[in-house]
Amino acid sequence: MPDSFRGAPDRGPNLARRRLLVVAAGGVAVGIGTVVGRGGARPVSAAENGPAREASPSASPSATRAPGGAATRKASPQPRPSTGQEGAGPAKVPAAGQPMYYLDDGPKVIALTIDDGPSPAYTPQVLQVLEKYGVLATFSMVGKNVSYYPAVAKDVAQAGHTIINHTWDHANLTSLSASHQRSEISRATDAIHAATDIRPRMFRAPYGAWSQRVLGYCAADELTPLDWSVDPRDWARPGVSKIVSAIMKTTKTGSIILEHDGGGNRSQTVAALKIAIPRLLDEGYRFAIP
């Protein structure tokens, strides 16, 4: 039975999300984002995580369409270093309200982000791998899952990793009313704070679906909008070797890698991280927090 999300947007396998971008002098401003799918939607399940829910389609952040429908290329986002949570310094919002797709922290510096947890099954396994190799990661947590598994979220924080807001219920914010969008973000922040005593300073939109309103909420709440630039599609469970190969082939200086510890069976992700992390370290990469 395929993984699925109750309440997740119903999309066919070939439906792709388009981002509407407005090119402005001196930069690129993200416009109202229509959903969804960097490379197509994926079904996901909470079966392995109890109540946990997640889905995160992917495609190259450089591909988009102009408002008139003609294909175009987006200028490379200008990354801005920022902090992930309260206590580590003020968050820095990227220029023109853009989500961050890349780091700008020197040669061979990359970031690892882990989405959709916490999961009592897979988050502890991911933590063990990260501890073995001395790597810090950013965990994008769903507020509802944090409320179910606060001890797991606390373990992540105590291990020194950064926890950021990934909405309350992994909602596609662009399909919700303004009040519902605000609630999704604020409830997740409250749940993370209750479990860890940390207020997240970054936000990742489910499905990578951004809009001007969502970016406005991020600015008002001093949440840096965080996206990604490497998606090995671990959520689709393509096999450990394919996940590892995708990471190694597409990672470069400044890459933000997307992986998952929630939303379904993430055993392939754990196995892939055991291989990819030491290989990246051997190639001279260093992991940083966005």
Query: What is the full per-residue pLDDT of the chain (290 aa) written as tens digits?
Result: 434 333 333 333 333 333 333 333 333 333 333 333 343 333 333 434 444 444 443 333 333 333 333 322 233 333 333 334 443 333 343 455 789 999 999 999 999 999 999 999 999 999 999 999 999 999 999 999 999 999 999 999 999 999 999 999 999 999 999 999 999 999 999 999 999 999 999 999 999 999 999 999 999 999 999 999 999 999 999 999 999 999 999 999 999 999 999 999 999 999 999 999 999 999 999 999 99
pLDDT of residue 95: 52
The residues that are catalytic are 115, 260
User: What sign does the dihedral 257-155-160-205 (CA atoms) show?
Assistant: positive
pLDDT of residue 96: 52
pLDDT of residue 190: 98
Answer for the pair 135, 280: CB distance below 8 angstroms, yes or no. Answer: no
Q: pTM of the prediction?
A: 0.71
pLDDT of residue 284: 98
Answer for the pair 135, 277: CB distance below 8 angstroms, yes or no. Answer: yes
CATH of domain 79-287: 3.20.20.370
